[in-house]
Amino acid sequence: MNIAILTFEGFNELDSFIAAGVLNRMKGSGWNVQITCPSENVTSMNGVQITAQQPLEFAENADVVLVGSGIYTRDIAKDSEILDRLNLNPEKQLICAQCSGTLLLSVLGILNGLPACTDLTTKPWVVESGVKVLNQPFFAEGNIATAGGCMSSQYLAAWIIAKLAGIEAAESAIHYVAPVGEKDSTVAHSMSVVSPFLQTTNAA
């Protein structure tokens, strides 16, 4: 299972690394979670430089693509050099976006009429791109999922794991990262957020 977490210049650390951290709980089951970038290095919105684990082209054949968020997403959404390197296929791949990542899914034509979640700052731009933005942390239909608000990354990760490895695996991953003394309540809450969208997609 190859998972590309798209991480651009000016990225939001929470949005890429919460998802990566939770999804990497599946490393023992062979999941290969990779921070995937348009250049060899990218620097976060707060000045932390990281080295890409994979080039952008890794996303094309990944089983799951999760588009992270950042402060330059509006520029990236107009950058044909980057967009042209993203050949995603929502019929074969799970495609997810966190916060401003939703704007990229919109301009790539992947949302295709679906409503979506994003953060409050990005919301006007996603609306302007023709997408109905929901006032909720998470939404999914079929192979497409979006989340809004940094800490919602855990819901994206839980949904991906539940969809590909089952609900117990998702519960176990969230249990591990949850605060001590709040593990059961955190698992119950996360699963209550994503479960309605697992039923919908399972029935599809």
Q: Which of 8, 58, 125, 138 binds a second copy (CB under 8 A)?
A: 138
48 binds a second copy (CB under 8 A): yes
Q: Give whichever of 26 and 198 is closer to a second copy, judged by the CB atom.
A: 26
12 binds a second copy (CB under 8 A): yes
152 binds a second copy (CB under 8 A): yes
> Beta strands 49-51 and 41-43: pairing type?
antiparallel
How far is 102 from 10, CA to CA, in rounded Å?
A: 16
The strand ranges marked E within 18-70 are: 32-37, 41-43, 49-51, 54-55, 64-67
186 binds a second copy (CB under 8 A): yes
Asked if 54 and 5 count as a contact pair (C-beta separation under 8 A), the reply is no
Q: Which stretch binds a second copy (CB under 8 A): 64-72, 83-91, 147-155, 196-204?
A: 147-155
Token pair recorded at residue 142? 């079929």
Q: Which stretch binds a second copy (CB under 8 A): 8-16, 56-64, 75-83, 194-202?
A: 8-16
Q: Which residues contact 163 (CB under 8 A, 6 or more apart)?
A: 94, 198, 201
Closest C-alpha to 151, from 12, 28, 51: 12
The order of strands in the sheet holding 138-141 is 54-55, 32-37, 2-6, 64-67, 94-98, 144-147, 138-141
Q: Give whichever of 51 and 202 is closer to a second copy, judged by the CB atom.
A: 51
Closest C-alpha to 111, from 127, 188, 119, 121: 127
136 binds a second copy (CB under 8 A): yes
Q: Which stretch binds a second copy (CB under 8 A): 81-89, 117-125, 163-171, 196-204?
A: 117-125
Q: Which of 39, 57, 87, 151 binds a second copy (CB under 8 A)?
A: 151
Q: Give whichever of 68 and 90 is closer to a second copy, judged by the CB atom.
A: 68
Helix, strand, coil content of the chain in percent (nearest 5): 45, 20, 35
Q: Which stretch binds a second copy (CB under 8 A): 64-72, 88-96, 124-132, 172-180?
A: 172-180
Contact set with a second copy (CB under 8 A): 12-14, 17-18, 20-22, 24, 27, 33, 35, 41, 45-51, 53, 117-120, 135-138, 147-152, 154-155, 176-183, 186
